[in-house]
Amino acid sequence: MKKSKPTPIIILGETILPGESKTINMEIAKLHTTTKLKIPIIIERSKIDGPIVLFSAGIHGDEINGVEIVRQIIIQKINKPKTGTIICIPVINIFGFVNKSREFPDGRDLNRVFPGSKTGSLASRFAYHILKEIIPVIDYCVDFHAGGASRFNAPHIRIVPNNEELKKLADIFDAPFTLYSKNIAGSFRNSIEKLNVKMLLFEGGKSLDINSDIAQEGVNGAKRVLDYLGMLNPKQKALQKETPTIYIEKSSWVRANRSGLFLDYNKIGCYVKKGFVLGVITDPFGKFEQKVKAPNDGYIINANHSPIVYQGDALYHISSALSENLE
């Protein structure tokens, strides 16, 4: 009986053979100085066929913590699989990364223009090529993000409700929290799931910042997923946690009632009771202090770290309903 040939993997016109390591540089456009700007796609394929997993980050160019997680996956050689193929894209929005900006130079948010267009805006063209050239070969994806606008996210996974496959993967990843959230039109997550790729979206930390604890949560979760899929290199060890992820079905924002200086009491990730003082809004001249209190019992999953806030600014994201099976 003849052995079947391994399934070919072709990305951007290049073939990755079993047992091969390859870096493919994706280039869609140059800088205005005519300098080439390439996106490295780092591919490690085992000699043994298996799932194809993508670890990606930097869709928003200022979310550096996600970039650090994928970098650690590479530098620790976690991306060298026992079976299957691991693809790492540490920085998707290379233009925003260079400029330390969330958006593309055209002012668009890459995570709102998927599936994109071959002849559209710069961000739209990037979205188009990612979906057409890379995603068709992918089985699983973990996309790493951080909070924007000085808002610090407790490490958590986001998945759509009522999807048992994704819930199983979230259980395996085992971040401190898992939030049920619907897909947003134009997002990478929305488009990739329409192509039947099973995706986890990881949030943790804040923009333009690297937090080692957040990075470790991301790396450990990635290793647990690879271990579950039978892909983790035998030289690596997946650390299992004693406490399961906490599922959050509903959450709400606590907003500033007035403008001023903001002093956060650092309760990110903690469970607080209704009326608990989370922080204080004050002013530079010592005229007032206003306590910011929890509107209900719940976990603080996001906190604003900006020292100056305006009336209506989001200060805290607090859970308001936990999943019934874990409450």
pTM of the model: 0.95
Report the pLDDT averaged over residues 62-86.
Answer: 98
* pLDDT above 50: residue 133: yes
* Predicted pLDDT of residue 32: 82
* pLDDT above 70: residue 1: no
260-264 sheet: strands from edge to edge:
289-293, 277-282, 260-264, 308-309
* pLDDT above 50: residue 260: yes
Report the pLDDT averaged over residues 142-168.
Answer: 96
| 26 Cβ neighbours under 8 A, 6+ residues apart | 12, 38, 39, 40, 41, 129, 133
Task: Dump pLDDT digits (tens) for 22-52.
Answer: 999 999 888 888 888 899 999 999 999 999 9
pLDDT category at 325 given cuts 50, 70, 90 is: very low
* pLDDT above 80: residue 327: no
Report the pLDDT averaged over residues 295-313.
Answer: 97
* Predicted pLDDT of residue 4: 56
pLDDT category at 183 given cuts 50, 70, 90 is: very high
Report the pLDDT averaged over residues 102-123.
Answer: 94
Task: Dump pLDDT digits (tens) for 189-230.
Answer: 999 999 999 999 999 999 999 999 999 999 999 999 999 999
Set out the domains of the chain in order of their start, with CATH numbers: 12-228 (3.40.630.10), 252-322 (2.40.50.100)
* pLDDT above 70: residue 237: yes
| 256 Cβ neighbours under 8 A, 6+ residues apart | 262, 281, 292, 309, 310, 311, 312, 313, 315
pLDDT category at 324 given cuts 50, 70, 90 is: low
* Predicted pLDDT of residue 30: 83
pLDDT category at 2 given cuts 50, 70, 90 is: very low
